Amino acid sequence: MADDNPARPALSPREAEVLALLAEGAPNKVIARRLNISVHTAKFHVAAILIKLGAANRTDAIAIAMRQGLVLV
């Protein structure tokens, strides 16, 4: 599992919305539809979240976000 360094850059409001949908298990296509954005933009936001949280994958990002209190599941 990646590190949960709280000194990482804060998520943007849109990234926080995407993270909440990730926590619900939504794939990129569903995220795009629910937020009225393109699938490409959804993928971009997911990639930014992974980088900012230092996560290896979507599951890791959710686990880190839960430990940091960024999402409640």
- For 8-17, the pLDDT digits (tens) are 679 999 999 9
Domains and CATH numbers, the chain: 13-67 (1.10.10.10)
DSSP 43-73: HHHHHHHHHHHT-SSHHHHHHHHHHTTS---
Res 6 pLDDT > 60: no
Put residue 69 in one of left, alpha, beta given phi > 0 → left and psi -120 to 50 → alpha.
left
pLDDT the model gives residue 2: 53
Q: What average pLDDT does the chain have?
A: 91
Average confidence (pLDDT) over 53-64: 97
Res 66 pLDDT > 60: yes
From 9-13, 21-25, 29-33, the region with the lowest mean pLDDT: 9-13
